[in-house]
């Protein structure tokens, strides 16, 4: 960028240019995560014992500081950074908070898992924080260049995390599949981005949107397909979901927990930024495509989950179906539609990570994630049984759990916008999802003692005072508590989601344009 300065401005040039190029206040939360990542790398150089001792508090401090700084930005002046390629509006703050909190909870449930598997703790924490940094930057990116850099930072770190269990053949296979499909998605995104740049002459999402509104071209429709494919890959929407079951099953369970929430939240933030911001001229086209993706995702995800015998694969297909539910709000393009997306991602954070915390706890004691091995678990471990049951009921949308209110808001927004097909398919597939969630609960609770699985019969006796898993228990209890009580006290979450939409100029403009089209 060429900047011409007068003589009087020359003395102040360094400070002004720095302020123009890098607004530190806007990216302060990411700065805290970056400092924590560098800190974990430094303590890792001191040896594994030092890393195991100091990595957790460094991560907690960095992510905690990031969440506090995000809270301080809420409802404040909208702060651009990186020459306008990053925008810290309420929408970005909300999704960045979901990403940071998902990482914090994922780390809480990771330490014992990493220790038992013999994996280096410092390296693992640094890579996970790198993925978090990429996801948070992606949530506020408003330029094709910053979008791609953030996307690849998240993706490369995710590939490394998926294959982190080097001694496990399934983990290596999962990482290879994820890498191959992810690389193809990145190439497709770059090709679509090059078309958009050629059409508009700018990499700014706002500039691209203006160019397409004033002079739409057939080539833009091809770029839309390429960009939409990448978005669908990040949120694991059918038919771009092929990587999800294998990666979920083969990757370390704490990594899966992060990918299921943090990476998905960043993907939906990208969808809002790039589709709503750049393709307003083609809103009917991309909404039609997303309607098809939502129907396919809800149907295939929930139907195929019925046949799964692994808890991780079941939750993989469940996450595909959950992405379909969230897409209802995206297709609506209304205030309630966008707010329901934000609300449901926040609800999904707690109920899904709570379920994964229970799965990790069970796996640490048994080494199994087969659904049949949970038979009769209530006799030996009431905490896991209660926590997993509440989280699965919430995922299924059973009142008064938090997930019920999230789904109701999505269906209400869809019905109000006359998206009757999506709402009906959503209701039917929700009933299907309840069946396989209830089947797991039945397996744990209803089985008689003599019907318990062999693993449960030999389940180790639990002594909470000596079990040595305080972070994992804290994460589990916190997620289950919010999942169970959040539905009853959901009004603050509704207000928070509505404020996220009201504090985003991009969404307000899209809502106004949608309202004008409806009236006209």
- Spell out the per-residue pLDDT of the chain, length 520, in tens: 344 444 444 444 555 555 555 677 888 999 999 999 999 999 988 888 888 889 999 999 999 999 999 999 998 888 788 888 899 899 999 999 999 999 999 999 888 888 777 778 888 999 999 999 999 999 999 999 999 999 999 999 999 998 887 777 788 888 888 999 999 999 999 999 999 999 988 999 989 988 988 877 888 889 999 999 999 999 989 888 888 898 998 888 889 999 999 999 999 999 999 998 888 888 888 999 999 999 999 999 999 999 998 999 999 999 999 999 999 999 998 999 999 999 999 999 999 999 999 998 888 888 888 898 888 888 888 888 999 999 999 999 998 899 999 999 999 999 999 999 999 999 999 999 999 999 999 989 887 766 778 888 777 766 554 444 578 888 888 999 999 988 888 888 899 999 999 988 888 888 887 766 666 5
Distances (CA, A) of 301 to 23, 198, 234, 324, 442: 42, 37, 16, 9, 21
What confidence score (pLDDT) does residue 432 get? 94
Q: Is the Cβ–Cβ distance between 194 and 227 less than 8 Å?
A: no
Q: Which residue has the tokens 């089985």?
A: 447
Secondary structure (3-state) at 87: strand
What 8-state DSSP symbol labels residue 81? E
Residue 276 CA to residue 335 CA, distance in Å, equals 13
Strand partners, 437: none
Residue 460 CA to residue 381 CA, distance in Å, equals 10
Sequence-distant (6+) residues with CB within 8 A of 174 are 162, 163, 246, 247, 249, 250, 251
What 8-state DSSP symbol labels residue 447? S
Q: Is the Cβ–Cβ distance between 3 and 66 less than 8 Å?
A: no
The phi, psi pair for 141, rounded to 5°, reads -70, 135
Q: Is the Cβ–Cβ distance between 324 and 294 less than 8 Å?
A: yes
Sequence-distant (6+) residues with CB within 8 A of 317 are 244, 245, 300, 301, 302, 304, 305, 308
pTM metric for this prediction: 0.92
Q: Which long-range contacts (CB under 8 A, 24 or more apart) does 93-97 make?
A: 93/500, 93/503, 94/342, 94/346, 94/496, 94/497, 94/500, 95/139, 95/265, 95/266, 95/268, 95/269, 95/342, 95/345, 96/29, 96/70, 96/136, 96/139, 96/140, 97/67, 97/70, 97/71
The closest alpha carbon to 208, from 513, 82, 198, belongs to: 198
The closest alpha carbon to 338, from 267, 405, 269, 283, belongs to: 269
End-to-end CA distance of the chain: 42
Residue 20's CB: how many other CB atoms inside 10 A? 15
What confidence score (pLDDT) does residue 15 get? 54
Residue 63 CA to residue 33 CA, distance in Å, equals 6
Distances (CA, A) of 349 to 207, 319, 322, 355: 33, 11, 12, 10
The phi, psi pair for 79, rounded to 5°, reads -110, 115
Q: Which residue has the tokens 């990031």?
A: 66
Cα 498-392-433 angle, rounded to 5 deg = 90
């Amino acid at each position: 960028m060429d900047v011409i300065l007068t003589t009087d401005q020359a003395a102040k040039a360094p400070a002004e240019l720095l302020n123009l190029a890098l607004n530190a206040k806007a990216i302060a939360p990411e700065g805290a995560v970056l400092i924590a990542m560098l800190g974990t790398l430094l303590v890792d150089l001191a040896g594994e014992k030092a890393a195991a001792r100091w990595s957790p508090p460094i991560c907690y401090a960095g992510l905690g500081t990031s969440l506090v700084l995000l809270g301080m930005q809420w409802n404040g002046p909208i702060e651009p950074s990186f020459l306008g390629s990053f925008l810290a509006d309420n929408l970005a703050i909300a999704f960045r908070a979901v990403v940071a909190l998902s990482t914090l909870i994922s780390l809480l449930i990771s330490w014992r898992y990493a220790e038992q598997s013999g994996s280096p703790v410092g390296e693992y924490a640094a890579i996970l924080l790198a993925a978090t940094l990429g996801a948070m930057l992606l949530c506020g990116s408003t330029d094709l260049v910053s979008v791609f850099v953030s996307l690849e930072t998240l993706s490369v770190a995710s590939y490394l995390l998926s294959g982190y269990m080097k001694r496990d053949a399934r983990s290596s296979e999962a990482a290879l599949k994820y890498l191959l499909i992810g690389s193809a998605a990145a190439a497709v995104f770059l090709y679509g981005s090059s078309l958009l740049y050629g059409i508009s002459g700018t990499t700014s999402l706002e500039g691209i949107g203006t160019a397409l509104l004033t002079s739409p071209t057939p080539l833009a429709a091809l770029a839309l397909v390429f960009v939409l494919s990448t978005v669908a890959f990040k949120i694991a929407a059918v038919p771009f979901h092929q990587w999800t079951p294998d990666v979920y099953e083969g990757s370390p369970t704490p990594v899966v927990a992060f990918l299921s929430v943090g990476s998905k939240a960043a993907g939906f933030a990208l969808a809002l930024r790039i589709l709503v911001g750049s393709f307003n001229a083609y809103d009917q086209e991309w909404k039609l495509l997303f309607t098809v993706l939502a129907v396919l995702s809800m149907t295939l995800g929930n139907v195929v989950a019925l046949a799964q015998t692994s808890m991780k694969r079941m939750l993989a297909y469940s996450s595909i179906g959950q992405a379909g539910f969230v897409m209802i709000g995206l297709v609506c393009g209304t205030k309630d539609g966008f707010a329901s997306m934000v609300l449901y991602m926040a609800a999904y954070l707690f109920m899904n990570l709570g379920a994964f915390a229970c799965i990790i706890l069970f796996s640490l004691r048994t080494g199994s994630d087969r659904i049949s091995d949970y038979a009769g678990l209530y006799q030996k471990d009431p905490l896991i049984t209660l926590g997993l049951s509440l989280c699965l009921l919430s995922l299924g949308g059973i009142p008064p759990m938090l997930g019920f209110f999230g789904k109701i808001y999505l269906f209400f927004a869809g019905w109000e916008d006359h998206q009757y097909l999506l709402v009906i398919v959503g209701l039917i597939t929700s009933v299907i999802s309840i069946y396989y969630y209830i089947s797991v609960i039945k397996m744990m609770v209803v089985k008689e003692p003599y019907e318990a699985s062999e693993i449960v019969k030999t389940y180790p006796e639990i002594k909470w005072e000596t079990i040595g898993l305080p972070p994992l228990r804290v994460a589990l209890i916190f997620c289950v508590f919010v999942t169970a009580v959040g539905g009853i006290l959901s009004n603050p979450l509704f207000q928070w989601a509505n404020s996220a939409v009201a504090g985003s100029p991009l969404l307000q403009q899209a809502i106004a344009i949608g309202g004008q089209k409806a009236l006209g």
